[in-house]
Amino acid sequence: MMQYHIKDLKLSKEGKKRIEWASLRMPVLNILAKRYEDNKPLKGVKIGACLHVTTETANLVISLKKAGAKIRLCASNPLSTQDDVASSLVKDYGIEVFAIKGEDKKTYYQHIDRVLELEPQITLDDGADLVATIHRSYKKSISWLPWAGTEETTTGVVRLRSLERQNKLLYPIIAVNDALTKFMFDNRYGTGQSTLDGILRATNFLIAGTNFVVCGYGWCGRGIAYRARGLGARVIVVETDPLKALEACMDGFWVMPIKDACKIGDIFVTATGNIDVIRKEHFLLMKDKVLLANAGHFNVEIDIEGLESMSTSKRKIKNLIDEYVLEYKGKKKRLYLLGEGRLVNLACAEGHPAQVMDMSFANQFLSCIYIKNNYPALQKKVYKVPEEIDREVASLKLEEMGINIDKMTPSQKRYMQSWELGT
Residue with Cβ nearer a second copy (238 or 347): 238
Report yes or no: 66 and 45 within 8 Å, Cβ to Cβ: no
Among 91, 159, 182, 222, binds a second copy (CB under 8 A): 159
SS3 of residue 59 by DSSP: helix
**Which is it for the CA torsion 85, 90, 91, 94, positive or negative?**
positive
Among 2, 39, 105, 410, binds a second copy (CB under 8 A): 105
Shortest Cβ 231–a second copy spacing (Å): 5
Among 146, 172, 221, 353, binds a second copy (CB under 8 A): 353
By CB atoms closer than 10 A (0-12, 13-18, 19+), residue 234 is middle
Shortest Cβ 85–a second copy spacing (Å): 12
Shortest Cβ 339–a second copy spacing (Å): 14
Report yes or no: 290 and 335 within 8 Å, Cβ to Cβ: yes
Shortest Cβ 215–a second copy spacing (Å): 9
Build a one-symbol-per-residue string for 65-104: x at contacts with a second copy by CB under 8 A, - elsewhere.
-----------xxx--------------------------
Q: Which residues in 169-228 contact a second copy (CB under 8 A)?
A: 180-181, 184-185, 188-190, 192-194, 197, 200-201, 204-209, 226-227
The neighbour count for residue 315, using CB atoms within 10 Å, is 9
Give the strand pairing for 211-215 and 254-255: unpaired
Measure Cα distances from 148 to 4, 151, 322, 390 in Å: 24, 10, 41, 19
Q: Which residues in 15-34 contact a second copy (CB under 8 A)?
A: 17-18, 20-21, 24-25
Furthest-apart CA atoms within the chain: distance in Å: 74
Confirm or reject binding of residue 9 to a second copy (CB under 8 A): no
Q: Which residues in 276-305 contact a second copy (CB under 8 A)?
A: 276-277, 287, 289, 298, 300
Binding region for a second copy (CB under 8 A) out of 35-43, 254-262, 362-370, 378-386: 254-262
By CB atoms closer than 10 A (0-12, 13-18, 19+), residue 253 is buried
CA-CA distance, 381 to 349, in Å (whole number)? Answer: 35
